[in-house]
Structure 1
């Protein structure tokens, strides 16, 4: 990490040159930077060259340039152009127009998708007289909610205007395919050298326009191990409540980016520090603040263990399911509600089902959870009560349950976070690896009825009903 940082500083110093050359915008010629076409996806290059050959300006923007400069392999290649979405769409038969809030073009090559956007102007500052009269009314479409949040923003402008309306300075770096230069319009290179996250423009106004920018600041801080610059950080706690006005479906997607990118544990800690977590997981946040715990669950330890395990999995190149992340973050609340319903006299499993329904109903008001995810979550929770019951044919039946693997991983996280399960995780680990005869031995040893010396009750065979008409006795 230290070597990478020193390398970064050397790169940034060589890019800046003298103080006189740091006036913005800063254009770094090809022979003064290390970002080259070898670092770019071949499909992104196809898009750039097609736009350029058609007479349009074409640039890579943002994350791919930033990541390269801090020694992270670029993965997402976003293209920006002065072509309108309709013009860009017409150039690619393998593309489609999407979006109402922001019109975009998605160009697909197999599993890879290259996003193409049009230079946009800062609609808050632009006057109608400044707009290009040749553009249609639809192209000039912009709208804000009563809370000042931008709902639609399809007013197109120049590259300078486009840079000013981006969120953070290090995302306003442009790579020009025409001459292979890097263009810095907002001081992003210097902020990268200083390892800081700085929003472009007035932080309050920018968060008001789109409160999700607060979440993005947290995500970058965790992913890049950067500090949030003081003025950028200052309004976040005060303005966190604006997340209540963001559609739950959008926040669901943001949570997956925040916690499912391999830096979930660090992100979770920052979300709580800045007062944002409560607007994503209100029940979980309230429970954590209350200090509730019991001998079989420490909520904070469990969540951190789950996120750390998920981070390790993602960083090693393996995938994780969105429903697993949500199952971890909501399990403490389910456990609390389950305890309450049992105290009211409900049996174990009906109490669990009631608890799961209550927690999920409360959660979808903040972040929408599609049914294709909520159903597997319920199955994982349900299996936590079925996995201890291993006698007879149950163990083999559970082993073939479609959600067994996720429930088993979930069980291990519970044990690793301090929940005493009597070696249940080890038992299931051994059972999966054992040959058939050893599996039978494991089942016999796990059957409490046999180890206690109590013979299982034999079921009486059912009597067949005699459907023949019986003659009444005289």
Structure 2
């Protein structure tokens, strides 16, 4: 692990034991990764920071899907990322991010996040009705992995040796074609109710099953979506219905009784499909 630099954070108590999957044990190749994403990964590495491809980019490559985008996680603070790349812009208040621009392609860089109980001010983290409304407590890679939603999204492609760092058995879950929540599903859904929709979307997109404990609370917690800002629901709806798996997504929304929480008008007044179209 690279040594600390000013602004980099190390956990004093957290000790996870992730599995490191060597390059010859997984199919992900640099040839499959955007040249611009590689530029950012190597640029951060050269500047002395950790840098990993993470989330959907790694997951999709492992299931032989071409990623729509490539996201990077690092121990560099947003302001430090901007110092490394002149073509960088910082965005977001709820979730501070660095966007590195290469013409029409944007590489999103997120600083490792830590638990909210490490926040020193409300500007770093805040919640409302158990939901996270601000999320800017920075930490290290172990802490960041704990903050991710599903095991298959907590896989880190390490540019230093091209290995994949697996914290919660995501590599095995991909082999089993199952979606499994990290931590206690009920609590994680309450932290961010959009995860209810994300579970459906990813299962539909990847043709995965939803692991039993992960699936059980979904129908019961559907009403939490009623308090989610419409802009966030709109963004998730676009992903559900405009990414090539609309029919399967709709079937699963019905299966878990979520459609009623995505409607602008009561079902008895307008057909479900018309309401969904109106929202989208």
TM-score for the superposition, normalised by structure 1: 0.53
- CA offsets, 1:301-354, max 9 Å, x none? xx4xxxxxxxxxxxxxxxxxxxxxx78734xxxxxxxxxxxxxxxxxxxxxxxx
The answer as to 2:126 corresponding to 1:143 is yes
The count of aligned residue pairs is 265
Q: By percentage of residues, which structure has more strand?
A: 2
Q: Which residue of 2 aligns with 1:86?
A: 79
Match of 1:67 among 55, 60, 77: 60
Q: Which residue of 1 aligns with 2:31?
A: 38
Q: Which residue of 2 aligns with 1:200?
A: 182
Q: Which residue of 1 aligns with 2:137?
A: 155
1 or 2 for the larger relative contact order (CA 8 Å, sep ≥6)?
A: 2
The answer as to 2:280 corresponding to 1:329 is no
Q: Tell me if structure 2 keeps the 8 A contact 1:48–1:177.
A: yes
Q: CA deviation at 1:71?
A: 1.6
Quick one: distance in 2 between partners of 1:189 and 1:122?
24
Q: Tell me if structure 2 keeps the 8 A contact 1:284–1:329.
A: no
Quick one: distance in 1 between partners of 2:148 and 2:265?
33
For structure 1, which segment, 276-285 or 186-195, has the greater mean C-alpha deviation from structure 2 after superposition?
276-285
Q: By percentage of residues, which structure has more helix?
A: 1
Q: CA deviation at 1:93?
A: 1.4
Q: Tell me if structure 1 keeps the 8 A contact 2:265–2:275.
A: no
Match of 1:113 among 98, 106, 129: 106
Q: Which runs of 5+ in 1 are unaligned?
A: 1-22, 132-136, 289-298, 304-325, 331-366, 370-474
Q: Which residue of 1 aligns with 2:92?
A: 99
Q: Which residue of 2 aligns with 1:274?
A: 256
Bigger radius of gyration, 1 or 2?
1
Q: Residue 109 of structure 2 aligns to a residue in which SS? A: strand
Q: Matches of residues 41-52 of structure 1 in structure 2 within 5 Å?
A: 41-52=34-45
Q: Tell me if structure 1 keeps the 8 A contact 2:20–2:165.
A: yes
Q: Tell me if structure 1 keeps the 8 A contact 2:54–2:71.
A: yes
Quick one: distance in 2 between partners of 1:127 and 1:49?
30
Q: CA deviation at 1:74?
A: 2.5
Q: Tell me if structure 1 keeps the 8 A contact 2:263–2:275.
A: no
Q: Tell me if structure 2 keeps the 8 A contact 1:277–1:285.
A: no
- CA offsets, 1:356-407, max 9 Å, x none? xxxxxxxxxxx5x7xxxxxxxxxxxxxxxxxxxxxxxxxxxxxxxxxxxxxx
Q: CA deviation at 1:44?
A: 0.2
What stretches of structure 1 move > 3 A for 4+ residues in a row? 284-288
TM-score for the superposition, normalised by structure 2: 0.89
Q: Residue 201 of structure 1 aligns to a residue in which SS? A: coil
Q: Residue 258 of structure 1 aligns to a residue in which SS? A: helix
Q: Residue 83 of structure 1 aligns to a residue in which SS? A: coil
Q: Which runs of 5+ in 2 are unaligned?
A: 1-15
Q: Matches of residues 75-474 of structure 1 in structure 2 within 5 Å?
A: 75-123=68-116, 126-127=117-118, 141-145=124-128, 147-283=129-265, 285-287=267-269, 303=273, 329-330=277-278
For structure 1, which segment, 63-72 or 77-86, has the greater mean C-alpha deviation from structure 2 after superposition?
63-72
Quick one: distance in 2 between partners of 1:39 and 1:285?
45
